[in-house]
């Protein structure tokens, strides 16, 4: 209620959009970082004319009925904004601070595309990103990470409204939040404006937006001091209005207090008439832009083709041919290095690929060698330097991915530090954002840095997360296969767990095998009935292969299976799964340098899972593997017990 003046001015007077095509490319983007206030956004979408596009065969009721079904089963008005559920909502917000960080990604995408594709005679990319955030967003550390980068990058078309109402769920913010936000944001490199009367100061808000747009080299924070629950005679300016409904009596009292005589959900005809202009205006804006793009396409064919691919998400024909391939004679190498080979091959054919690392590019091996750094004065470049800001990095990449379907952002750090960005990765999965998480130093194989840096439970935890592809490639072909899968999966993020240590290029691995999740690398049996099945992932596939060689010398029939992705394997047909892991063969041994949690699903009750169920240690990688029993000898011994 306190944000209504901001929302009204943005949607009715300032923002450029087409309600009949919520995905028009050059629209202004609006992010409600304070996502618990989503009824405001739903009401504004309805007034602006988005209701017709929100109807579908699954949602035959009008958007007005969806408003009445707020937060109920089957409605398109969930309890926090969800981009995959409600057209007109740009990103999924709710966990505080994520939205403002997403907005930084959206603004980065706009600045990058404008620098790359605009011409003196045709500025084909020109839109703003607007955000409303609250005190909770300001308190969460992710907002500071992302806003620090926004200031560093000079994202002048990012305008954030800070709903300064001094109330959080526990009460007045004085109990925990007394910093000077204005000074902090000035220190972060933002232009700061204070609107002292956000409840009724419409002209002040308009003037602040005008001033913000005049500042081209900095993002702007407009602090708007408001009263939470403005208009409610008994609950305004109290924490009780923050997270619970007013209740029927207080709603009636509020209606009387504001002089609003209409029934619930009634929109007066004069209000409808006033807002109805957005439908023809939006159509005209898009038509004007389409004509502008047609001219651009005639004059700048190559650039237009690249931009169109980013806008539509259509992959260039034959792009996958750029993926490098390897043979057993190719030199051994760490999969982090092989990953860099893939990134540098793909950036030549995928115009929307860009990304970087959390201050570890030289360790994660994520530099795009043919490009410079995305910086304030070189925004056309495609290496993004995130600094030590893992959480902000993940959320910014979500914003980039959701800006346009053809963007393919990647970000990198050590696999163990996904702990610092798990919330952003979870939102990637929930909001169907194609982000590629390049996670190196994936096991105890990183060696001397020790248990603080050695991931143990991380593979299992991401396998438990819905709509994430957890991929652990074993060599060059599997790394290429992992990238192919990550690019093709447009509606879910991928995590690539990559080794620090060198690994051999194994016989039998393939790009095509990775797409199945699990596949046979070698087998000397017949009739789909080996004596034992050895299953490995990543750096441990080599150990499984060596163990198989020893067992075969003793006359055993052994199948070696690479299990790169549990999720992809689960999606295969029952017939395929039976061809790889026949139900009649209970003698199964898995080996993975991580928690054994979950492996019983693969090896069965009679199989054995070799792994690590404690924290790691500081020592050279080879020594640690031996001490933890991750050796061919251990696999051979386990197999002999079973067969």
**DSSP reduced 3-state for 128:** coil
Give the per-residue SS3 of 416-478: HHHHHCHHHHHHHHHCCCCCEEEEECCCHHHCCCCCCCCCCCHHHHHHCCCCCEEECCCCHHH
Residue 480's Cα: distance from chain center in Å? 21
Looking at the structure, tell me whether residues 475 and 531 fall in a common domain.
no
For position 247, what pLDDT does the model report? Answer: 85
Answer whether residue 59 shows pLDDT above 50. Answer: no
Q: Residues within the annotated binding site for thiamine diphosphate?
A: 36, 94-96, 136, 165, 242, 417
Instruction: Indicate if 349 and 478 belong to the same structural domain.
Output: yes
In a domain, 504, yes or no: no
pLDDT for the residue numbered 26: 98
Sheet (strand 383-385) strand order = 373-374, 383-385, 353-357, 408-414, 436-440, 494-497, 469-471
CB 562 within 8 A of CB 606: no
459, 337: one domain: yes
With a CB cutoff of 8 Å and minimum separation 6, the contacts of 203 are: none
Helix (H/G/I), strand (E/B), else coil: 605 = coil
Q: Among the listed ranges 30-44, 389-403, 484-498, which one has the minimum average pLDDT value?
A: 30-44
The CA-CA-CA angle for residues 122, 158, 36, to 5°, reads: 130
pLDDT tens-digit map of 323-373: 999 999 999 999 999 999 999 999 999 999 999 999 999 999 999 999 999
Residue 60, pLDDT score: 38
Q: Is 239 a member of any domain?
A: no
- CATH no. for residue 188? 3.40.50.970
Res 520 pLDDT > 70: yes
Q: What is the mean pLDDT of residues 89-95?
A: 96
Binding residues: 36, 94-96, 135-136, 165, 167, 242, 336, 363, 417, 441, 449, 453, 500
Evaluate if residue 431 carries a pLDDT over 70: yes
Are residues 328 and 277 both part of a single domain?
no
> What's the whole-number average pLDDT of the chain?
95
Contact residues for 295 (Cβ-Cβ < 8 A; gap 6+): 122
Query: What is the tally of structural domains in the chain?
Result: 3
Please indicate, yes or no, whether residues 111 and 203 belong to a single structural domain of this protein. yes
Mean pLDDT on 510-526: 98
Say which of 204, 390, 540, 542 is annotated catalytic.
Answer: 390
For 545-594, what is each residue's pLDDT tens digit?
999 999 999 999 999 999 999 999 999 999 999 999 999 999 999 999 99
Segment 218-246 shows an average pLDDT of 84
Residue 343 CA to residue 258 CA, distance in Å, equals 58
Whole domain around residue 544: which residue ranges? 517-642
Provide the pLDDT for residue 235. Answer: 77
pLDDT digits (tens, 9 = 90+) for 61-79: 455 666 677 777 877 888 8
Q: Is 390 among the residues known to form the active site? A: yes
CB half-sphere exposure, 172, CA atoms < 13 A: 4
- Average pLDDT score over residue span 95-114: 98
pLDDT band at residue 51 under the 50/70/90 scheme: confident
Same-domain pairing of 28 and 151:
yes
356 and 399 part of one domain: yes
Task: Give the distance from CA 76 to its chain's centroid.
Answer: 22
DSSP H helices, 170-268, are: 181-187, 202-214, 248-257
> Does position 189 have pLDDT exceeding 90, yes or no?
yes
Residue 479, pLDDT score: 98
Q: Which of 412, 427, 429, 511 is nearest to 463 (CA)?
A: 429
The predicted pLDDT at position 62 comes to 56
Q: What is the mean pLDDT of residues 618-641?
A: 97
Q: Which of 7-11, 265-269, 515-519 has the lowest mean pLDDT?
A: 265-269
Confidence at 58, pLDDT banded by 50, 70, 90: very low
Residue 399 in 3-state DSSP?
helix
pLDDT of residue 213: 98
Stated as kind and residue range, the H or E segment containing 567 is helix 566-570
Count the helix, strand and coil residues of the chain and give each as a percent rounded to the nearest 5. 45, 15, 45
328 and 473 in a single domain? The answer is yes
Q: Please tell me whether residues 325 and 473 are part of one structural domain.
A: yes
Whether the per-residue pLDDT at 53 is higher than 60: the answer is no
The pLDDT of residue 396 is 98
Instruction: Return the closest-CA partner of residue 564 out of 465, 486, 620.
Output: 486
Tell me: do 524 and 493 sit in the same domain: no
> In the chain, what percentage of residues exceed pLDDT 70?
97
pLDDT of residue 400: 98
Output the CA angle 578-583-588, nearest 5 degrees. 105
- Count other C-beta atoms under 10 Å from residue 174's C-beta: 8
Average pLDDT over residues 250-255: 88
pLDDT at 57 over 80: no
**What does the pLDDT average to over 607-627?**
97
- List, as residue ranges, the binding site for Mg(2+): 135, 165, 167
Judgement on whether residues 443 and 472 belong to the same structural domain of the protein: yes
- Number of Cβ within 10 Å of residue 168's Cβ equals 20
What pLDDT does 596 receive?
Answer: 98
**Long-range CB contacts (within 8 A, 24+) of 295-299:** 295/122, 296/119, 296/122, 296/124, 299/119, 299/121, 299/122
Average pLDDT for 376-397: 98
Distance, CA of 516 to CA of 191 (rounded, Å): 51
Q: List, as residue ranges, the binding site for substrate.
A: 242, 336, 363, 441, 449, 453, 500
């Amino acid at each position: 209620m306190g944000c209504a003046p901001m929302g009204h001015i943005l949607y009715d007077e300032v923002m450029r959009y087409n309600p009949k095509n919520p995905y028009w490319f050059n629209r202004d983007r609006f992010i409600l970082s304070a996502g618990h206030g989503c009824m405001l956004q739903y009401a504004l979408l309805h007034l602006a004319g988005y209701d017709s596009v929100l109807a579908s065969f699954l949602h035959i009721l009008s958007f007005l009925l969806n408003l009445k079904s707020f937060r109920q089963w089957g409605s398109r008005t969930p309890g926090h904004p969800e981009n995959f559920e409600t057209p007109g909502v740009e990103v999924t917000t709710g966990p505080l601070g994520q939205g403002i960080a997403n907005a930084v990604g959206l603004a980065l995408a706009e600045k990058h595309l404008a620098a790359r594709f605009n011409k003196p005679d045709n500025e084909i990319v020109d839109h703003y990103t607007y955000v409303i955030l609250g005190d909770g967003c300001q308190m969460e550390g992710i907002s500071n990470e992302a806003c620090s980068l926004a200031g560093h990058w000079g994202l002048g078309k990012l305008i954030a409204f800070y709903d300064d109402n001094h109330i959080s769920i526990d009460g007045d913010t004085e109990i925990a939040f007394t910093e000077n936000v204005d000074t902090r944001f000035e220190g972060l490199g933002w232009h700061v404006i204070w609107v002292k009367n956000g409840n009724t100061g419409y002209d002040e808000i308009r003037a602040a937006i005008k001033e913000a747009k005049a500042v081209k080299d900095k993002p702007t924070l407009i602090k708007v001091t408001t009263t939470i629950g403005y208009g409610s005679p008994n609950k305004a300016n109290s924490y009780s209005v923050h997270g619970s409904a007013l209740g029927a009596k207080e709603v009636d009292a509020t209606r009387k207090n504001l002089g609003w005589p209409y029934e619930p959900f009634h929109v007066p005809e004069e209000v409808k008439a006033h807002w109805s202009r957005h439908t023809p205006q939006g159509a005209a804006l898009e038509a004007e832009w389409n004509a502008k793009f047609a001219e651009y396409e005639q004059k700048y064919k190559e650039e237009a083709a690249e931009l169109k691919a980013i806008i539509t998400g259509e992959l260039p024909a034959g792009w996958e041919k750029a993926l490098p391939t390897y043979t057993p004679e190719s030199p051994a190498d760490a999969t982090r290095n092989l990953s860099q080979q893939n990134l540098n091959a793909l950036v030549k054919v995928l115009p929307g690929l860009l990304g970087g690392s959390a201050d570890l590019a030289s360790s994660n091996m994520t530099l795009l060698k043919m490009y410079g750094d995305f910086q304030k004065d070189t925004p056309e470049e495609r290496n993004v330097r995130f600094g030590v800001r893992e959480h902000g990095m993940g959320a910014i990449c979500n914003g980039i991915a959701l800006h346009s379907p053809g963007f393919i952002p990647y970000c990198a750090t050590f696999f163990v530090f996904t702990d610092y960005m798990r919330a952003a990765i979870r939102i990637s999965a929930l909001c169907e954002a194609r982000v590629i998480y390049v996670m190196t130093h994936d096991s105890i194989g990183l060696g001397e840095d020790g248990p603080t840096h050695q991931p143990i439970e991380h593979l299992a935890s991401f396998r438990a997360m819905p709509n994430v592809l957890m991929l652990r490639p074993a060599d060059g072909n599997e790394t290429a296969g992992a990238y192919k899968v990550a690019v093709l999966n447009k509606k879910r993020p991928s995590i690539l767990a990559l080794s620090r240590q060198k690994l051999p290029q194994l016989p039998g691995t393939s790009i095509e095998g990775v797409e199945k999740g699990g596949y046979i690398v070698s087998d000397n049996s017949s009739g789909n009935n080996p004596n034992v099945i050895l299953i490995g992932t990543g750096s441990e596939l080599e150990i499984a292969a060596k163990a198989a060689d020893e067992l075969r010398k003793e006359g055993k029939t052994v199948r070696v299976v690479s299990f790169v992705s549990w999720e992809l394997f689960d999606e295969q047909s029952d017939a395929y799964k039976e061809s790889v892991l026949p139900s009649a063969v209970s003698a199964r041994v898995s080996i993975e340098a991580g928690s054994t949690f979950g492996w019983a699903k693969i090896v069965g009750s009679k199989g054995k899972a070799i792994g690590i169920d404690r924290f790691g240690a500081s020592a050279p990688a080879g020594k640690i593997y031996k001490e933890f029993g991750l050796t061919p000898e251990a696999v051979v011994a386990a197999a002999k017990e079973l067969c």
